[in-house]
Structure 1
């Protein structure tokens, strides 16, 4: 418990100034927060530092913060990270592919038996469950499952015949 109180006193007394120092070192507020957190974590791991007194522990904290900031800037992650002032715009999708896919699926669905087509359409496009489909179509749930299975198999074959999917 004593260590927790000492760390709390160290945090309350030095965290804000240490953060400003870290921002000055790194030029990055997010990284400065990481630097302060790491310095305080290392102080927690070294209770002897906490007991040395305010000025000694303050000097130690600043040295740890400086070394950690340098290590972070030298790390491979920092070398390969690319920073942007603003995020790039998301890619705009061309609706043509979606329209063509919908047309191909509609053509394949039209080749199915009506009982298969209705079960697939209501399950996948309307989001109805097996129980809801069974009640709506007045058939057992096992029949709905069977129609879904054989309907999807026939749909896959129809798509393969049209050259849409692999075997």
Structure 2
């Protein structure tokens, strides 16, 4: 096997590097695996140099093809991010936003705040909110429209909404 590697290792490595996209490490692995397979099949091989060379090229080509198939099926490996560089959600952004919205809601008129609370915060329909508040559905819709508009403006003034 040492003679086989000395005679064919260099030319086989040069050939395989072309088919591995000049990836030296992969090419060396392919050459090594090809020589191991030649050793395993030594009893069946014809030891004429041109036939050995053709056999080695065929085996190496198949190993490269199998490697490409494996790489296309497996997800690309990535390094895990450094722990000190990872951001950990702490909920402070959400809590701060909720506080700003609650403050803006308190700034609205009672009529606008009530319909927003009934429809958005308590997840009620226009009809349900109208029944609870004792006003017509059309009034709920109107107050909701103007209340949301006023809330947006208040939040825009506070730099929260665009």
> What TM-score results when the alignment is normalised by the length of structure 1?
0.47
Task: Specify the structure having the higher radius of gyration (Cα).
Answer: 2
